Amino acid sequence: MEKRLKKILTVLFLLLIIALALFAIVYINEYKKIDELKVVFFDVGQGDSIYIETPGGSDILIDGGPDNKILDKLGREMPFWDRSLDLVILTHPHADHVNGLVEVLTRYKVEEILYTGVNYNNQAYYELKEIIQEKNIKVTFAIAGQDYEFDNNIKLEILYPFKSLQDVEVKEVNNSSIVTLLDYNETEFLLTGDLEKEGELELIKKYQDLSTEVLKAGHHGSKSSSSLELLRAVSPEYVVIQSGKDNSFNHPHEITLNRLQNLEIDVLRNDSLGNIEFTTNGEAFKYMVK
């Protein structure tokens, strides 16, 4: 009887230790960065995927990359008990942006998805729309002028497209990309999907002030994006290029890299650095690679 009681007490003690450890993990994750915005440019190979975490714990994912690598990336960034995303944005339905989102929507609870609704023949895109319907996920079709407000005066503004593209057939899908501006007081990120020069010139014409600290290069640093006109209008401190190592498209292109070098803009590349994480309190910001 005494041995049995000792075993029970030992098990209870171990369970208490585990519970306290779990509580400590939750507490540390919730309160260690009470004023920092985190923006992670995931290294998902030849594709785009950006994760945003606000100080108040809102989780946003922009694009999912070309395959299911995104699941591992999210699993490492988000606590194991958190399987929900407040907002998912699909900039446009090319495979290197949409494929990974299929499993994300399957495995995570997604409160809202923002996309253009443009017509495009892509199996993963069809599957994504089926999952949205099956799980009754809230859908918003992107158009310039929409914005999302989060804690700590953080705002995500939709700058492009200028008109509804729902059920529209477009000539160039890259130039249907959703462009967003992430604004946290004195720090801003301009995220351009695969927008090319034609769309960039439309942005410049529409908005008088596009200056930001960080610019995500359009279309993986291709020569058809990151035009001189856009770079001068944005005048970023850093340009992030999301391209895969030894990709068959030769992204980023030498022309684009030379253009950035001539303007003395610091370039951060997923293909050579891995994941690139920015953190900011709305005033100062820093980055690390991991």
pLDDT tens-digit readout, 57-81: 999 999 999 999 999 999 999 999 9
Below-70 pLDDT ranges, the chain: 1-34
Asked whether 256 and 225 are in contact (CB, 8 A), the reply is yes
Report, in angstroms and rounded to the nearest whole number, the Rg of the chain calculated over CA atoms: 21
Report the pLDDT value the prediction gives residue 35, as an integer from 0 to 100. 84
Report the pLDDT value the prediction gives residue 62, as an integer from 0 to 100. 99
Report the pLDDT value the prediction gives residue 26, as an integer from 0 to 100. 47
- 120: exposed, middle or buried (Cβ count in 10 Å: 0-12, 13-18, 19+): middle
Could you tell me how many residues make up the chain? Answer: 290
Quote the strand ranges of the chain, DSSP E: 37-41, 50-53, 59-62, 84-85, 87-89, 109-110, 112-115, 138-141, 147-149, 154-160, 179-184, 187-191, 214-216, 238-241, 266-269, 276-280, 285-289
Report the pLDDT value the prediction gives residue 136, as an integer from 0 to 100. 98
- 191: exposed, middle or buried (Cβ count in 10 Å: 0-12, 13-18, 19+): buried
Report the pLDDT value the prediction gives residue 24, as an integer from 0 to 100. 46
